Amino acid sequence: MTDPLRVGFGERLAESMRARGALCVGIDPHPSLLHAWDLDETARSVERFAMTVVEALAGEVAILKPQSAFFEVYGSAGIAVLEKVIAEARQAGALMLLDIKRGDIGSTMAAYAMAYLDEHAPLAADAVTVSPYLGYGSLAPAIGIAEQTGRGVFVLARTSNPEGAGLQQSIHGSGDSVAQYIVDSAAESNAGAEPMGHVGVVAGATIRSDELDFSRLNGPILAPGLGAQGATVQSLRAVFGAALPNVLPATARDVLRHGPTVNGLRAAARKVREEVQDLLRG
């Protein structure tokens, strides 16, 4: 096991949010966006797309979030691009959240954790998304390695897709919803951390304001759904209430559609970031 980083993920993320504002921008080379940028569906075009986003935003936003699936579809060439994106964005000062949504048990989960959270892994990111639907306890290898290496995990709790509601809003054995159980389990993992722990949750910016209680979480909340999925910056306060200072709103298409120019991407991200900052000051 590698030596721990001197500063844990929660502290590093909090500092990045203070310095750069609370915004996460996805790097999603979806075919429709590639075509909008006059690019074809090849690994070379994905590299051009992704590295343009890195050039534009690695010095601008708190965290960048590559969607691994859009790189994996190109096989080893796509994975090589993803390695380059992670390395160069981190070198430019951005925190990198790799959206992989992995979830498994035992040695398989441990292998996923080593692949994405170990210091010397080619795909090592600052944090990853993970799925708890084989049981929150199955995530122990990822949560443990992340803590030891100064990295983080974001656990899917109440996602923004409509298909998730039936499972996530169902009642857990604890008496709370499954989503609330996941939030509370993450809170236990973060107990005593300052300013916030290394285990975050994913809760869509489109959910109802009365669905979840984040008061014990003491960790970051990744809130996808801005823009294309219908959520607005103004709706964040109603959804997250007192937890708003720990919320990291996430957007992708609403910024990426302003490419392929660096200036266009940068201006779009700054506009959203400033709207979020105005909300936090209000």
Annotated catalytic sites, by residue? 101
Long-range contacts of 13-19 (CB under 8 A, 24+ apart): 13/62, 13/63, 13/95, 13/126, 13/127, 13/152, 13/196, 13/220, 13/248, 14/195, 14/196, 16/62, 16/63, 16/95, 17/62, 17/248, 19/62
For residues 160 and 234, give the distance between their C-alpha atoms in angstroms, rounded to a whole number.
17
For residues 34 and 42, give the distance between their C-alpha atoms in angstroms, rounded to a whole number.
9
**DSSP assignment of 201-241, as one string?**
EEE-TTS-TTS---TTT-S-EEEE-BSTTSB-GGGHHHHHG
- Side-chain-side CA neighbours of 274 within 13 Å: the count stands at 6
The letter for the amino acid at 224 is: P
Structural tokens at position 4: 């721990």
Instruction: Note whether 158 and 204 are within 8 A (CB).
Output: yes
Report the phi/psi class of residue 125: left, alpha or beta, with left for phi > 0 and alpha for psi in -120 to 50: beta
- DSSP SS3 for 261: coil
Instruction: Note whether 216 and 239 are within 8 A (CB).
Output: no
Per DSSP, which regions of the chain are E strands?
Answer: 24-27, 63-66, 95-102, 127-130, 152-158, 199-203, 221-224, 247-251
Structural tokens at position 210: 């009365």
